[in-house]
Chain A
């Protein structure tokens, strides 16, 4: 309808309202202080406000909303993990994602395109069969597929038997998806702010005051705030923030680099990853090819891009999709990943009574955003650890009960 735009322009709905509350002074006291205004922090605040009626909440973000690793991940959503705890947790997250746009009344551009992991060796096929069995048992759509099916799913994939690592089989995960990562953070933050949560950007936590095993206040660059409890959701800086509360964590931070090409017509539907050549590729709805998954070989708090990674990611991507040799790269960047020894997150209680951890998000944080919001909010509101996140508690390392999540990263396993 040609007058639709004009009508909208003259209506009371235009201009659209600001998503978030304008910045104002910090209050003296909040019931809940959430450190970190990324997808996770916003999701926790949203769930506290909407489902638990807790609205005296401040999200303290040192830079801007969703500007950290929420903006730097490659927006892959999947649940084809290996351990029972992992599959249960991530499949719940995928279900929440599928309803997220309706939940917010805000488009997060969820696209259920499926994910294909490639096997180039007999050992990989064996591990894929294992994963497929675990996944199916838990109600997740995963199956082992042959070369014929792979050619049908991804017609432009290099299926040559003369390549260095010929493709033998694949793990097809129909539940795999992608979404707009910024929109996820914005949707959660908008929903939280609409219900009374305060988002404070450019507010960095400098110190955390602990009195007899309880956190009482946080000191920020904008003054001191007393609090009923604190939730830390600062993946990429977890060790640094937790140290202020005197909590050691089993985390090393590694940069993970990715890059995108110029836009092309839509020619690749699913997300394709290869643990053997160490790359994953998908085409965004804008047409760019996202090429990802190269970790630096040593820990670093620096998000610079390196020539080494550009070379190895390009070589791997071209082995799978030879036509990409003509592509020009638009951007290359890095995010900081909290790597835990068992490739699982650290969630729940900490040694400080009213200080809750949402850390250790390695390369699996974005896909867990909705379930994190639900479970961490429940923990804060009820003081009881939800069953689904109990396996991920920090204490597991002291009991030698790690969750060996070998299905955690799309490219490394």
Chain B
């Protein structure tokens, strides 16, 4: 059984988790072009080596990040999203935009 350490629930069977895709910084929701959005949504680094990616502990719906080596299949570290997201993303400007 392969284990993954959830920052909330501790070490669990990896079958309890869902892979959630590569971590990419969210593009600016006002100035980003449709082309760049397409790239953000569909395109991947798909790197061979160290990657940072999203995982979810399915049973508790807890989303977190992991650093993993895609060649050796080793998880180096898992951590909570607040390490990267230190403040709330403000979508209010986008709302004003869409109303006009």
Binding site for B on A (CB under 8 A): 239-240, 248-253, 297-302, 304, 306, 308, 341, 397-398, 400
Contacts and interface: CB of A to CB of B under 8 A. Distances in A.
Contact of A398 (B38, B47, B72, B73): B38
Interface in B44-92: 44-48, 70-73
Contacts of B35: 398
Contacts of B38: 397-398, 400
Interface in B5-53: 14-15, 18-19, 34-35, 38-39, 42-48
A397 B43 CA distance: 9
B50 to A, nearest CB: 12
A54 B46 CA distance: 34
Interface of B: 2, 14-15, 18-19, 34-35, 38-39, 42-48, 70-73
Given A248-B39, A397-B38, A400-B38, A302 B72 contact: yes
A395 to B, nearest CB: 10
Given A240-B48, A297-B19, A298-B19, A304 B43 contact: no
A397 B46 CA distance: 17
A249 B43 contact: yes
A302 B71 CA distance: 6
Contacts, number: 51
Contact of B44 (A252, A298, A302, A400): A252
Contact of A239 (B14, B42, B44): B44
Closest 3 CB pairs of A and B: A239-B46, A298-B19, A250-B42
Given A250-B43, A301-B70, A397-B42, 9 more contacts: A297-B18, A297-B19, A298-B19, A302-B71, A308-B2, A308-B15, A341-B42, A398-B35, A398-B39
Nearest to A336: B48
A301 B48 contact: yes
B38 to A, nearest CB: 5
B73 A251 contact: no
